[in-house]
Amino acid sequence: MKIGLVDSGIGLLAAAAAVRRARGDAELVLASDPEGMPWGPRSAQDVTRRAVACARAAAEDGLDALIVACNTASVHALPALRAAFEPDLPVIGTVPAVKPAAAEHRTVAIWATPATTGSPYQRALIADFGNGARITEVPCPGLSDAVQAADPEAVGAAIAVAASRTPPGVGAVVLGCTHYELVADRIAAAVPGARLYGSADAVAAQALRRIGASAPPLGPTGTVTVILNGRRADRLPEVALAYAEGAALAATAAVT
């Protein structure tokens, strides 16, 4: 069983780690675009072109499923990716967990990049799945960049700004960028009492459902293939090892 994941940078680590937890035998192909990141400020056409290029590089390994582990790419590139690869290769996008958060809490904050905050896409999610909750959209300038750089001070400063924009006593915080899940513990500390809602576990579960991988989890025997800008690398990027998800992948799987 081989599952590919696409993102501009290390935001795909959260979903990759979730797949590994669910199925330790899964072979993972991590395809990213460090020369083109971040994708958020780019045009929809450019994001689509870059996401499709990453996906094609990953698909050369003979995938069973492809996870678009990036909110920006899921917004802009999912139709093109599905047109290019389905039905032969299931493509699973990433959607901010607005629906479960609003189903369980009356007050919700959505932390997202400035480009996503207030976008028609996010407003449509709120309209469709807000369930009458009081929802605050919180832009998080610089947070994904700080996470990508593994810069603790910059991460802390960006989280502090976002926390100051979050209503006191909010019941839930939706992590609307996959990079944010890598610093979920720091976000939780900055918004005490709020429950965090990420997408990684749900995306991993959906990918496994799509390919009928319902057997019990096995030990961590799967390999990891790393593709950077279409070229194979012999290891995970050094910055990935700064996070528990990246360190766990490196410790439990050979990089091919």
Catalytic residue IDs: 70, 177
- Whole-angstrom CA distances from 24 to 28, 95, 219, 249 are 10, 24, 5, 10
- Contacts for 128 with CB less than 8 Å, ≥ 6 apart: none
Geometric angle at alpha carbon 34, from 28 and 39, rounded to 5°: 100
- Whose tokens are 């870059």? That residue is 50
CA distance 216 to 223: 18
Buried b / exposed e along 109-136 (16+ C-beta atoms within 10 A):
bbbbbebbbebebbeebbeebbbebebe
